[in-house]
Amino acid sequence: MTEKRQASEEAAQEEKPEMKAEPKQEPRRPERERKARMEDNVVFVGKKPTMSYVLAVITQFSDGQNEVFVKARGRSISTAIDVVEVVKKKFMQDLKCEIETDTEVITDERNQRINVSTLSAKLFK
């Protein structure tokens, strides 16, 4: 660092009073906390390997959840079914499962309506 630059920085520090930053506390929002707690037991299946989602489901049960939802859309539905079967057959044989299927209508960029299949599997003890 040059001497001029160092001197100008020291002068700038002397001019400014030293202020301590206090952390801001945001107001508590119970609806957000409640929503986060409700979604803790949902595993959304996507493009990761199957065992990533299996681990997520097992982790939810080990954290004390009594039920876990495995949800998927479109091409990920087959992976979601694999996740449910692996959890039931290899790790937690006493689980029960309820599966619901549905179709969502989505509008794309060209205002065309597209039907997308969805799956929601409820795993519970």
The single residue listed with the structure tokens 């986060």 is 36
Contacts (Cβ under 8 Å, ≥6 apart) of 119: 70, 71, 72, 73, 77, 80, 81, 99, 100, 101
Question: What are the sequence ranges of the domains in the chain?
Answer: 38-124
* pLDDT value, residue 79: 97
**DSSP, res 20:** P
For the entire predicted model, the pTM comes to 0.68
> Could you read off the pLDDT of 59-118 as tens digits, one per residue?
999 999 999 999 999 999 999 999 999 999 999 999 999 999 999 999 999 999 999 999
Residue 45: what pLDDT?
Answer: 97
- Per residue in 16-47, pLDDT (tens digit) is 555 455 555 555 555 555 444 556 899 999 99
**Coil, helix or strand at residue 100:** strand
pLDDT value for 40: 81
CA–CA dist 82, 102 (Å, integer): 18
Q: Just give the CATH number of 38-124.
A: 3.30.110.20
pLDDT at position 58 is 96
